[in-house]
Homo-oligomer: A and B are copies of this chain.
Amino acid sequence: MSKIFVDACFGKETPYTPVWMMRQAGRYLPEYMEVREKAGDFLSLCHTPEMAAEVTLQPVDIVGVDAAILFSDILVIPNEMGMDLRFEKGEGPIFDKPIKSIEDVEALLGGEEAAGKLTYVYDTIKIVREKLANDKALIGFTGAPWTLATYMIEGRGTKTYNLVKKLIYTQPELMHALLAKVTEVVKYYLEKQIQAGVDVVQIFDSWATALEKDKYFEFSWNYMKEIASYIKAKYPHIPIIMFPKGIPGFLDEIDGDFDVFGVDWSTPIELAKEKLGSRYVLQGNMEPCRLYSKEATKEAVEHIASVMGGKRHIFNLGHGILPDVPVENAKYFIKLCKNVGKDF
């Protein structure tokens, strides 16, 4: 059965423009909070396939999106490469022993061995794919090597990225060694996700915005492209979505073997269309805070629809949905995207 979402990723005509939301399986949903409380903590939820599958499926039923996205965390990769990971309330993820030297990089588990440890992810995918309707797509994902390596070096969220930036300007070879190692794991990880049943993969580069242009291409985009080429060569039927957050000034240089470019909210959709719309399908890009207001949501959906004209486009937010958004407004957004221009 053909999936509207997959067709749209390949730029084929579809009966309507499909829609999903980044972080759609998240804290704004009371049903998610229930499962998460049962799980105990966030990481246990990621580690328990039955529960992770349940929250993956929730937004399809509750808010009506066209694709489910695997519930997991980008940091399971460094975690299985051997770095202890914990989540602190109010602060987020923490690696107590961040990477400081080439010996630290060499001590990490790599390649298929590390990817092979993420069985709970592949098991989650198998459960979801069994339960998900055939016409809905399942999106697998990974963090981009740059974003993962930044966490591995900073050890936690950062405002200035000064540790990782000091590294790229003073010991670029160490950073490249780490990025190359993470890249190998990511390739196997996405491959195993595909073998387990995902229909589409997205690479999230949440911290793209931390780098100036030349360094972005050197330390991030080149590795993302390498992953995309590897996957595309082996699995040409699987669409690849790239989401580098916050690089509106660099769009002229974007290239590579992928299908969909995820547009964040800081990049005007007109600009993305002008620079990339003929080469890639565009996904996005409503500012997620518009979900606080139905009026603001309607205004943006109509604007984006008018720019894209229902072609080569997938509706989404320009970043993850926030925990304090009313579920009703999220449902309204989804309904609006699927019925834009119609009375409903």
Contact = CB atoms under 8 A, between A and B. Distances in A.
Nearest to A167: B292
A290 interface: yes
A209 B287 CA distance: 13
Nearest to A296: B169
A157 B158 CA distance: 13
A81 to B, nearest CB: 26
Given A249-B248, A292-B165, A322-B160, A287 B212 contact: yes
A169 B293 contact: yes
B162 A322 contact: yes
A23 B157 CA distance: 23
Interface string A301-328: 0000000000000000010001010000
Interface in A245-292: 246, 248-250, 265-268, 271, 287, 289-290, 292
Nearest to A162: B322
Interface string A51-80: 000000000000000000000000000000
A165 B291 CA distance: 10
Nearest to A290: B169
A170 interface: yes
* Chain A: interface size category: 20 to 34
Contacts of A159: 157
A213 interface: yes
Contact of A169 (B165, B268, B271, B292): B292
Contacts of A267: 249
Contacts of A234: none
A212 B290 CA distance: 10
A166 interface: yes
B213 A289 contact: no
Contacts of A162: 289, 322, 324
A206 B215 CA distance: 22
Interface of A: 157, 159-162, 165-166, 169-170, 209, 212-213, 215, 246, 248-250, 265-268, 271, 287, 289-290, 292-293, 296, 318, 322, 324
25 contacts: A162-B289, A162-B322, A162-B324, A165-B289, A165-B292, A166-B289, A166-B292, A166-B324, A169-B289, A169-B290, A169-B292, A169-B296, A170-B292, A170-B293, A212-B265, A212-B268, A212-B287, A212-B318, A213-B268, A246-B266, A248-B249, A249-B266, A249-B267, A249-B268, A249-B271
